[in-house]
Amino acid sequence: MKKENRALYEMAAQADMPYKRSGADMSRVKDLVYTLIKNYDEIEDTIKVDSIYQLNRSLLIEIIEKLRRLIFPGYFVKKYITKTFIEYQTGTLVEEIFFALTKQIAIALCHRKDGSACHDAALEQSEEIVYVFLSKLPKIREYLATDVKAAFDGDPAAYSKDEIISSYPGIYAIMTYRLAHELYMLNVPLIPRVMTEHAHNVTGIDIHPGAKIGASFFIDHGTGVVIGETTVIGRNVKVYQGVTLGGLSTRGGQSLNGQKRHPTIEDDVTIYSGASILGGATVIGRGVVIGSNAFVTKSVPARTRVSVKNPELQIHESESKNVEHKELEQNEFWDWVI
């Protein structure tokens, strides 16, 4: 072995050796532990110990992936699936989801209560909830089929529906939302929000499970989209990146819980990138086009266009010349995205 290679080998071997702590080091580590334990006693709202009612977030993410395989069979598997095999795979997935989700919903129903009596009652209740939820999968598939079609029809960069199902973040976020929304409507606590926040983490698209969204919904690009809890969206709505459908103010905090805080978007509306539409009383009428970067806090009548006045483009030709001001040559409203 060459001398330089031997030196590298020895360095690597030393890096893998277990660290031998001195007595002083161990004392410092113990001090850190005791400091944290004391802090746990002082701030109890953010710890979860001595409780069997704690959700398994990793398991819930696995359930989402299994549900995706049920909704889009053949797309997210490691092996080629035949029609002969699909019944077996469907049965296996349904069984696995049924038992895993039943336990998680029972935990969610009991997370603020104590005692085995709660768990027994919640387990029976959760079985019925999961049965009703899984029975809604065909309807969810129907909605998602319209979402995929809307994405294909609305995006000239899409070459096939396979590409959309396999790779578009908007479809993943909408799928997760539609699943979570059904659990939300069944009054399941915690789990719907865990699901949509997972999709938010993966895609950058934040859809509250309480929002109501019609068929043929298309989110293009998607990063930075926010859709609040009491938002109502009709059919054939298209939303681009950076759009916020939010509340005018959250200063009221919990006192606003249950109130209509987010806008209503009627059918056939297009909302371009960076637009913000705020307020529970705000209604965007059918067929409206909202231009990029618009800030809307009042209702907009049907079949109208909302735009931001074109800015001036400053062109610096050189340091020795005066700055020229040229107005952007474009349509009366911004309807382009990158």
Mapping DSSP to helix (H, G, I), strand (E, B) and coil, where does residue 264 land? strand
Higher pLDDT, 52 or 241: 241
Give the CATH number for residue 280: 2.160.10.10
Q: With respect to residue 30, please indicate whether it lies within any of the assigned structural domains.
A: no
Q: How far is the C-alpha of 282 from the C-alpha of 262, rounded, in Å?
A: 8
Asked if pLDDT for residue 334 goes beyond 50, the answer is no
Q: Which helix (H) or strand (E) holds 297?
A: none
Higher pLDDT, 6 or 184: 184
- Looking at residue 290, its pLDDT comes to 97
For 214-260, write each residue's pLDDT tens digit. 999 999 999 999 999 999 999 999 999 999 999 986 666 666 677 89
- Domain extent, residue 220, equals 211-338
Q: What angle do CA 294, 331, 281 make, to 5 degrees?
A: 25
297, 182: one domain: no
87, 120: one domain: yes
Of 206, 241, 264, at which residue does a domain stop? 206
Phi-psi region of 185 (alpha: psi -120 to 50; beta: other; left: phi over 0): alpha
Give the CATH number for residue 198: 1.10.3130.10
- Looking at residue 154, its pLDDT comes to 94
Please report which residue ranges of the chain form alpha helices under DSSP H. Answer: 3-16, 23-42, 57-71, 83-110, 116-135, 137-154, 161-167, 169-185, 191-203
Rounded to an integer, the average pLDDT of 263-289 is 97
Among 191, 177, 181, CA closest to 147? 177
191, 255: one domain: no
| Averaged pLDDT of the chain | 87
CB 208 within 8 A of CB 178: no
326, 193: one domain: no
201, 227: one domain: no
Rounded to an integer, the average pLDDT of 300-315 is 89
Total count of domains within the chain:
2
Percentage with pLDDT > 90 across the chain: 65
234, 178: one domain: no
- Looking at residue 323, its pLDDT comes to 46
For 129-174, write each residue's pLDDT tens digit. 999 999 999 999 999 999 999 999 999 999 999 999 999 999 999 9
Of 186, 206, 226, at which residue does a domain stop? 206
Higher pLDDT, 125 or 5: 125
Q: How far is the C-alpha of 23 from the C-alpha of 25, rounded, in Å?
A: 5
Q: With respect to residue 117, please indicate whether it lies within any of the assigned structural domains.
A: yes
Q: How far is the C-alpha of 311 from the C-alpha of 63, rounded, in Å?
A: 48
Q: How far is the C-alpha of 190 from the C-alpha of 198, rounded, in Å?
A: 12
- Looking at residue 313, its pLDDT comes to 80
Phi-psi region of 204 (alpha: psi -120 to 50; beta: other; left: phi over 0): left
Q: Whose structure tokens read 């209604």?
A: 283
Of 206, 225, 258, at which residue does a domain stop? 206
